[in-house]
Amino acid sequence: MAKVLMKGNEAIGEAAIRAGCIHFFGYPITPQSEVPEYLARRLPEVGGQYVQAESEVAASNMIYGAAGVGMRVLTTSSSPGISLMAEGISYIAASELPVVLVNIMRAGPGLGGILPAQGDYFQATRGTGHGDFQLLVLAPASVQEAVNLVILAFELAEKYLNPVMVIGDGMIGQMMEPVEFPVEGVGPPLDPGDWALTGCEGRERRIVNSLFLDPEACNRHNLKLKAKYERMAENEQRWELYNCDEPYDLLVTAFGMMSRICKTAIDDLKAEGTNVGLFRPISLNPFPYEPCRRVIDRAQRILDVEMSMGQMIYDIQLAAQGRLEIDFHGTAGGVVPSPDEVADKIRESLARIGRSPARKPGKRSAKAAAAQKSKSKRSKKTATAQKPGKRGGKKPQNAGKRSAARQSSARRHGRRSGR
Amino acid sequence: MAGTEVLMAGFGGQGMLLSGKLLAYAAMNEGMEVSWLPSYGPEMRGGTANVTVCISDKPVGSPYISRPMALLVMNQPSLEKFGPRVKPGGLIVVNSSLVPIEADRDDCTVIYIAANDLAKEAGTARAANLVMLGAYLGWSGVVDKKTAVKMIEKEFAKKAKFIPANKAAFEIGFAEGFKAKGGKR
Q: What is the pLDDT of residue A360?
A: 52
User: CB–CB of B65 and A261 under 8 A?
Assistant: no
Distance CA A129, CA A91 (A): 9
A263 vs B contacts (CB less than 8 Å): 61-62
A31 vs B contacts (CB less than 8 Å): 40
What strand order describes the sheet that includes B109-113? A4-7, A176-179, B33-38, B48-56, B3-11, B70-73, B91-95, B109-113
C-alpha distances in angstroms, B110 versus A246, B50, B85, B107, B140?
A: 41, 19, 14, 9, 13
Q: Which of B24, B36, B66 sits opposite A340 (nearest CB)?
A: B66
User: CB–CB of B65 and A338 under 8 A?
Assistant: yes
Interval A159-163 mean pLDDT = 98
Distance from CA of B39 to the nearest CA of A (A): 9
Distance CA A245, CA A295 (A): 10
Report which of A234, A235, A288, A39 is spatially closest to residue A150, judged by C-alpha positions: A39
User: CB–CB of B65 and A178 under 8 A?
Assistant: no
Measured CA angle at A88 (ends A82, A93), to 5 deg: 105
Q: What percent of chain A has pLDDT over 90?
A: 83
Distance CA B53, CA B155 (A): 17
- Contacts of residue A338, defined as CB under 8 A and 6 or more positions apart, other chains included, come to A261, B62, B64, B65, B66
Sorted by where each begins, the domain ranges of chain B are: 3-180
- Residue of chain A whose Cα is closest to the Cα of B26: A5
The answer to whether A306 and A121 have CB atoms below 8 angstroms apart is yes
pLDDT digits (tens, 9 = 90+) for B145-184: 999 999 999 999 999 999 999 999 999 999 999 999 988 7
Domain B3-180 part of CATH 2.40.50.1020? no
- Contacts of residue A65, defined as CB under 8 A and 6 or more positions apart, other chains included, come to none
How many other β-carbons are positioned within 10 Å of the β-carbon of residue A392? 5
Interval A373-402 mean pLDDT = 38
Q: What Rg value do the Cα atoms of chain A yield, rounded?
A: 23
DSSP states along A228-282 = HHHHHHHH---EEEES-SS--SEEEE--THHHHHHHHHHHHHHHTT---EEEEES
How confident is residue B43, by pLDDT bands cut at 50, 70 and 90? Answer: low
User: CB–CB of A5 and B25 under 8 A?
Assistant: yes
A338 vs B contacts (CB less than 8 Å): 62, 64-66
Q: What is the mean pLDDT of chain A?
A: 88
By CB atoms closer than 10 A (0-12, 13-18, 19+), residue B94 is buried
How many other β-carbons are positioned within 10 Å of the β-carbon of residue A202? 5
How confident is residue A401, by pLDDT bands cut at 50, 70 and 90? Answer: very low
Q: Which domains does chain A have, with CATH numbers?
A: 4-184+209-235 (3.40.50.970), 239-417 (3.40.50.920)
Distance CA A83, CA A77 (A): 10
Q: What is the pLDDT of residue A357?
A: 59
Q: What is the pLDDT of residue B45?
A: 62
Q: What is the pLDDT of residue A102?
A: 98
Interval A71-81 mean pLDDT = 98
Pairing of strands A250-253, A283-285: unpaired
pLDDT digits (tens, 9 = 90+) for B80-133: 999 999 999 999 999 999 999 999 999 999 999 999 999 999 999 999 999 999
The answer to whether A399 and A409 have CB atoms below 8 angstroms apart is no
B24 vs A contacts (CB less than 8 Å): 5, 176
Q: Is A345 in CB contact (< 8 Å) with chain B? A: no
Give yes or no for residue A369 having a pLDDT over 80. no
Give yes or no for residue B1 having a pLDDT over 50. no
Interval A97-107 mean pLDDT = 98
pTM of the model: 0.88
Point out which residues pair with A306 in neighbouring strands.
Answer: A330
DSSP annotation of A333 reads: T
Q: Is A368 in CB contact (< 8 Å) with chain B? A: no
